[in-house]
Structure 1
Amino acid sequence: MFIVNVIRGFFMALADSVPGVSGGTIAFILGFYDQFINSLNKLVSKSSKEEKMEALHFLFKIGIGWAVGMVASVLFLASIFEEQIYSISSLFIGFIIFSIPLIIKAEKETIKGKYINSVWAVTGVLIVVALTVFNPASGGQGIDVSFGNLTIGLSLYVFVAGMIAISAMVLPGISGSTLLLIFGLYTAIISAIKEVLSLNFSYLPVLLVFGVGVIVGILSTIKLIRHFLETARPQMIYLILGLMIGSLYAVIMGPTTLEVPKAPMSWDTFSILFFIVGGVIIIGLEQFSKFIEKKRM
């Protein structure tokens, strides 16, 4: 299972690094989400030493794949994201739209007959749309996060964004990268990671601030996410679906948050080819999950 978990982590990283679906959504599609959440919970709770070691062993394998996938994705995305924003956004939309029916299928018994909880789906949509409309980067103001421009206020903003983004990354639904896109930080963080990998350490402070926000976000939200998935799963699934639907609007408006703002995506700039590629990737991941399950039986 070592290689399988490395591959799982790799695909989680690819999802986490791009606006669209979260790594949590990929874990959901690949059938190991509950194990992933429970393992994180064991590390931050008063579990036995054996349970912590088992969780750490599992997460270590996921982490190797995640690190490889993230570095590969960042090195590639940072160089083409702004230039190919509409094609990449079309790919993201394919990820989202093709993932929604897979989650509905996987949780069919959970949500069946509980349609009153649709209000949570509406809530999820409204949350993402509100964040997109009212965020500070809305209207096209790129955010410079290099060392000389890292004020206390900007540092706090990056810290909070890191907390919120990692919460989204572990929760199936809206991608943490989509939230960074909403906050106007996606291109900045991706570029900062690439610069540090290229040994330009002027961007290291912002990544440290962002990293601390990520750690605090994990510690403060993982128990909450696990609690609600166990005690209010139907409501959570509807909320997740709403967040995913709402993230379509965030991706469409994403070009307006670039350092050099572009017009929102339109039918003229939408790429059906990249949309289909996104769908094929998601369906391929589902088939990969089924293949792994058959091998384990």
Structure 2
Amino acid sequence: MAMGAADVVPGVSGGTIAFISGIYDRLLAAVAACTPNKLLWLARGRVRETWQAIDGTFLCILLAGIFTSIASLARLISYLLEQHPQLIWSFFFGLIVVSVLLVGRQIPRWSAWSVLALLLGTVFAYLITVAVPLQLPVTGPVIFLGAAIAICAMILPGISGSFILLLLGLYASVLQAVKNFDVGLLAIFILGCVAGLLSFSRLLSWLLSHARSVTLAFLTGLLIGSLNKVWPWKQTLSWRENSQGQLEPLVQSNVWPAQFQQLTGEPAYWQGGLALMLLAVVLVLTLEYWGRQAER
């Protein structure tokens, strides 16, 4: 459910939640095991063997939590992002800061290649956060392709699938489809997600098996670079009109809380923001501690 809640927010990745909760490798392995030949196994009656090969119980419970969270929290998170943006972004900022520490700590061995991968990941994620959003037409093929790209981002720590949809100009349409339960649009979106997930997860799983230090360093860089997007206090430099005729921020710059209050005339809520950052850090460290205790 935490992964689903994170995926609803543009700028926060469900992959980050999977990593800090210790299920990332298992998730990639389970998804990568969902190959076309498993359909042949099912056709031959090898149901039990197929279920075990794809870690079916794990996947079903995880997907049930994600979809339950998206369906139930889409409206709430939309409301909170609109009414209390500084507080919500503060919580996610703290979440990603502590994730940098936890993911970086898992790197087995540092080398020149690992440092280079860390820098490349940081620059890549930062460039995505400052990219200017497109406004693609909401058609079946575009939704399918956008879903395939976004799902790849969703399983990468630090890159938000929701933010990729935002860059493509599809986020509002997909969120509206979830709210209104538009079966046709959601079906196309889910098919695109499946196609992207099956193709990308195998590559990422292979990289973690054969070049773990470099891959983890790159993923850590993605988390660092994404901090630019989730900084809570921003000044909007320009606006754009979305497909519903509503104004949305186009270009923003990060400012300190005191500057935010002077520039916008709105309260910065920096005390509450700092408290939520610390709360996120404590929650993640507690979750990580429970995970280590369970392993022992």
Unaligned 5+ residue runs, structure 1? 1-9, 138-142
Instruction: Please state if 1:116 is matched with 2:113.
Output: yes
Kept in 2, the 8 Å contact 1:19–1:92? The answer is no
TM-score (norm 2): 0.76
For 2:265, the equivalent position in structure 1 comes to none
Kept in 2, the 8 Å contact 1:94–1:274? The answer is no
Q: What is the deviation of 1:161?
A: 2.3
Q: What is the deviation of 1:46?
A: 4.6
One-letter code of the match for 1:249? N
**Aligned partners of 2:133 and 2:291: how far apart in 1?**
44
**Aligned partners of 1:133 and 1:103: how far apart in 2?**
24
Task: Render the CA deviation track for 1:213-236: whole Å, top value 9, x for unaligned.
Answer: 211111211111111111111111
Tell me how large the CA RMSD over aligned residues is.
3.0
Kept in 2, the 8 Å contact 1:135–1:183? The answer is no
Kept in 2, the 8 Å contact 1:161–1:180? The answer is yes
One-letter code of the match for 2:209? E
**Aligned partners of 1:260 and 1:52: how far apart in 2?**
49
**Aligned partners of 1:185 and 1:250: how far apart in 2?**
18
**Aligned partners of 1:70 and 1:52: how far apart in 2?**
28
In the superposition, relative to structure 1, how do residues 72 and 158 fare at CA in structure 2: closer, same or farther (>3 Å)? same
One-letter code of the match for 2:166? L
Instruction: Please state if 1:31 is matched with 2:28.
Output: no
For 2:207, the equivalent position in structure 1 comes to 228
In the superposition, relative to structure 1, how do residues 281 and 129 fare at CA in structure 2: closer, same or farther (>3 Å)? closer
SS of the residue aligned with 1:167? helix
Rg bigger for which structure? Answer: 2
In the superposition, relative to structure 1, how do residues 276 and 45 fare at CA in structure 2: closer, same or farther (>3 Å)? farther
For this pair of structures, how many residues does the alignment match?
267
Q: What pairs up with 1:250-265 in 2 under 5 angstroms?
A: 250-251=229-230, 259-262=246-249, 264=252, 265=254
Q: What is the deviation of 1:290?
A: 2.9
For 1:266, the equivalent position in structure 2 comes to 255
For 2:264, the equivalent position in structure 1 comes to none
**Aligned partners of 2:273 and 2:36: how far apart in 1?**
42
For 2:9, the equivalent position in structure 1 comes to 18
Q: What pairs up with 1:68-79 in 2 under 5 angstroms?
A: 68-79=68-79
Q: What is the deviation of 1:163?
A: 1.2
Displacement over 6 Å in runs of 4+: none
Instruction: Please state if 1:53 is matched with 2:51.
Output: yes
In the superposition, relative to structure 1, how do residues 35 and 92 fare at CA in structure 2: closer, same or farther (>3 Å)? same
In the superposition, relative to structure 1, how do residues 19 and 115 fare at CA in structure 2: closer, same or farther (>3 Å)? farther
For 1:294, the equivalent position in structure 2 comes to 293
In the superposition, relative to structure 1, how do residues 188 and 286 fare at CA in structure 2: closer, same or farther (>3 Å)? farther
Kept in 1, the 8 Å contact 2:104–2:217? The answer is no
Identity over aligned pairs, percent: 27
**Aligned partners of 2:110 and 2:131: how far apart in 1?**
35
For 1:208, the equivalent position in structure 2 comes to 187
Q: What is the deviation of 1:278?
A: 4.2
**Aligned partners of 1:292 and 1:58: how far apart in 2?**
16
**Aligned partners of 1:113 and 1:123: how far apart in 2?**
15
Unaligned 5+ residue runs, structure 2? 261-267
In the superposition, relative to structure 1, how do residues 32 and 177 fare at CA in structure 2: closer, same or farther (>3 Å)? same
**Aligned partners of 2:12 and 2:283: how far apart in 1?**
15
In the superposition, relative to structure 1, how do residues 240 and 175 fare at CA in structure 2: closer, same or farther (>3 Å)? same
Kept in 2, the 8 Å contact 1:128–1:250? The answer is no
Kept in 2, the 8 Å contact 1:174–1:240? The answer is no
**Aligned partners of 2:175 and 2:132: how far apart in 1?**
19
The structure in which a higher percent of residues are helix is 1
**Aligned partners of 1:74 and 1:64: how far apart in 2?**
15
Kept in 2, the 8 Å contact 1:30–1:289? The answer is yes
One-letter code of the match for 1:25? T
